C-alpha cells in the first residue's frame, strides 16, 4: 500500500506506523479537580477502548515515522483499502503560527 503524505509525497506504507480510528482526536473534556461521575467514566471508557471499524470509508491516524514525523489523518475504504484523502492531523493554520 502507498500513502500520499501531504509533505513527502507517495510513500510505501512501511514508512508509516498505524494507530487507528481518528476519532481519538475528540478527547473527552473532564476538568481536573472535578468529581468523576458515571457519564465521565462512560465517556472515557468509550474514548480509550472503543474504536469504529466500519465496512466502508474510515478516517484513521498514521504516523510518518520514517519521513516527516507528522501524524496524518488518512481516509481509507476498509473493504478496498482505497485511500481517498490524506491530511495533516495538525491544522495548517496552527502549523504556520508555531
Partner 1 sequence: MSRQPNRLASGGLVDRNKPQLFRFDGQPYQGFAGDTLASALLANGVSLFGRSFKYHRPRGLLSAGPEEPNALVELRSGARREPNTRATVAELYDGLEATSQNRWPSLRFDAMAVNQLFAPIFAAGFYYKTFMWPAAFWEKLYEPIIRRAAGLGRPAGSEDPDHYEKAFAHCDVLVIGSGPAGLMAALAAGRSGARVIIAEEDFRLGGRLICDRREVDGVPSVEWVARIASELEAMPEVRVMLRTSVFGVYDGGVYGALERVNDHVAVPPEFQPRQRMWRIMTRETILAAGSIERPVVFGDNDRPGVMMAGSVRTYTNRFAVAPGTRAAVFANNDDAARTIGDLEAAGVHVDAVIDPRPGSTDSVRSAARKAGSELIEGAIERATGGQRVQSVDVRSNGSTRSLSVDLVAMSGGWSPTVHLTSHQGSRPVWDDQLSAFLPGQTLPPGMTVAGAATGQFSLEACLAAGAAAGLDAAGRCGFRRAQLAVPSADPESTAVSPLWRVRGTKGKAFVDFQNDVAASDVELAEREGFRSVEHLKRYTTLGMATDQGKTANVNGLALMAEITAKSISQTGTTIFRPPYTPVAIGALAGHHRGEHFKPTRLTAGHAWAKRQGAVFVESGVWMRAAYFPRPGENDWLETTIREVNTVRSAVGVCDVSTLGKIDVQGRDAGKFLDFVYCNTFSTLAIGKARYGVMLREDGFAMDDGTTSRLAEDHYVVTTTTANAAKVMQHMEFCHQVLLPHLDVQMISISDQWAQYAIAGPKSRAVLQKIVDPRHDISNEAFPFMAAAEISLKGGIPARLFRISFSGEMAYELAVPAGFGEAAIVEIIKAGQEFGIAPYGLEALTVMRIEKGHVAGAEFNGQTTARDFGLGKMVSTKKEFVGRVMAQREALTQPDRPILVGLRPIEEGFRLRSGAHLLNRGAEPSLDNDQGYVTSTTYSPTLRSWIGLAFMKSGKERTGDTVRAWDAIRGTDALVEVVGPCFYDPKGERHHG
Binding residues vs partner 1 (CB under 8 A): 1-2, 12-13, 17, 19, 24-25, 27-28, 30-33, 36, 40-41, 44, 47-49, 61, 63, 65, 69-71, 79-83, 88-91, 94, 97-98
Residue 26: other Cβ atoms inside 10 A:
9
Q: How far is the CB of 94 from partner 1 (least distance, A)?
A: 5
- Residue 41, helix vs strand vs coil: helix
Whole-number Å distance between alpha carbons of 40 and 48: 12
Residue ranges that bind Zn ion, judged by CB under 5 A: 5, 7-8, 64, 67-68
Amino acid at each position: 500500500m502507498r500513502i500520499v503524505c501531504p509533505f513527502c509525497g507517495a510513500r510505501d506504507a512501511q514508512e508509516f506506523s498505524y494507530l487507528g480510528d481518528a476519532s481519538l482526536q475528540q478527547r473527552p473534556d473532564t476538568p481536573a479537580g472535578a468529581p468523576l461521575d458515571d457519564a465521565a467514566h462512560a465517556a472515557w471508557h468509550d474514548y480509550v477502548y472503543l474504536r469504529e471499524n466500519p465496512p466502508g470509508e474510515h478516517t484513521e491516524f498514521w504516523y510518518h515515522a520514517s519521513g516527516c514525523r507528522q501524524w496524518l489523518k488518512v481516509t481509507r475504504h476498509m473493504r478496498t483499502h482505497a485511500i481517498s484523502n490524506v491530511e495533516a492531523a495538525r491544522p495548517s493554520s496552527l502549523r504556520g503560527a508555531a
